[in-house]
Amino acid sequence: MSTPRPYTLIAELTYKCALHCPYCSNPARRTQETLPAEIWERTLDDASALGVVQLHLSGGEPLLYRDLERLIARGHQLGLYVNLITSGVPLTRARLIALHAAGLDHIQLSIQDATRQSSDSIAGARVFDRKCQVASWVHDTGLAFTLNVVLHRANIDRVPEIVALAEQLGAHRLELANTQYLGVAFANRAWLLPTRTQIEEAYEAAQRARERLFGRMEIIFVKPDYFGSTPRACMDGWARNYIHVTPAGRVLPCHAAEAIPELVFDSVRDRGLAEIWASSPALQRFRGESWMKEPCRSCERRSIDFGGCRCQAYLLAGDPTVADPACALSPAHGQIESVHNERTYVLRARR
């Protein structure tokens, strides 16, 4: 197949972070390695030439990457929409102003819950007040501002309070993202998974808020895929719209793909991004539809959900080439059904 145009580059600058969230999307084993700014700059240039318009500077905590300002400036110079995905914790008011001046378009600030006690307990650090302070600075700068809250059993009942907090903090967007059960979150899923009723009530609360705030604040509700009968269109398809580059420089289709042992990902340390995007065997492996087996191969939804998530297929069914077990047509769908019946409240693998 022809090489698709990517629209988004997710640049994970470092895995370092001050928080200890039990649903962290980073891999459980994290390198300390980071790329020099020159390699990142070259990678941004290459991404822009490939068609990328969105740049997400992420981590870990991207504020802990020393040359962040330089990368924001380069992204801005290329006309990219530059978004910083941050905990906010290491930020000062002066640095925020400097980031804005360098060309930052948007900041996505995480908060763990609507109350200090619960929020700090989830983050594993006393950071709630700090985050609210950072939010007020963001509001003052006029930067585009999304508040992000990852939902799970311990906070999902407080969607109305979270919406009220987002309004109070002046967020333009609120992203209520249910935990995706990969990486650390997979290990902790028995502790994190809400009940079906909790999800439904949270969704209803988000819908009511969306209606009330229509045209003023956008509310995004990302459903978990443990509760549906069809899988989500993971990353809009493997190596199709998104490029993900890790702190070590490896080019992935998503943050979790290194969990699949058979895949070897190329690094921007060794080859240019354009060449990797076009010909990396690991990116080609599940690109398009030719890799599909039944029930995906003949499924009418194969161009809608692309067979779902390859990492989840590997984690739950032990084989990254089969249908995502989130799909009711998957023989391993029972794996998802059975997790609802787990009654283990033990927190595992929390770093």
Q: Provide the binding-site residues for other proteins, judged by CB under 8 A.
A: 5, 7-8, 51, 53-54, 79, 81, 83, 105-106, 108, 142, 144-146, 172-173, 211, 214-216, 218
Report d(CA 37, CA 30) in Å as an integer: 20
Q: Which is nearer to other proteins, 40 or 242 (CB)?
A: 242
Q: Which is nearer to other proteins, 78 or 327 (CB)?
A: 78
The answer for 150, left when phi > 0, alpha when psi is -120 to 50, beta otherwise, is beta
- Run of H or E including 322: none
Q: Taking a C-beta distance cutoff of 8 angstroms, is the pair 216, 264 a contact?
A: no
The contacts of residue 22 (CB under 8 Å, 6+ apart) are 122, 124, 152, 184, 185, 188, 191, 192, 347, 350
- Report the half-sphere exposure of 282 (CA within 13 A, side-chain side): 21
Angle at 323 between CA 322 and CA 327, to 5 degrees: 155
Report d(CA 48, CA 54) in Å as an integer: 9
The contacts of residue 228 (CB under 8 Å, 6+ apart) are 326
The answer for 8, left when phi > 0, alpha when psi is -120 to 50, beta otherwise, is beta
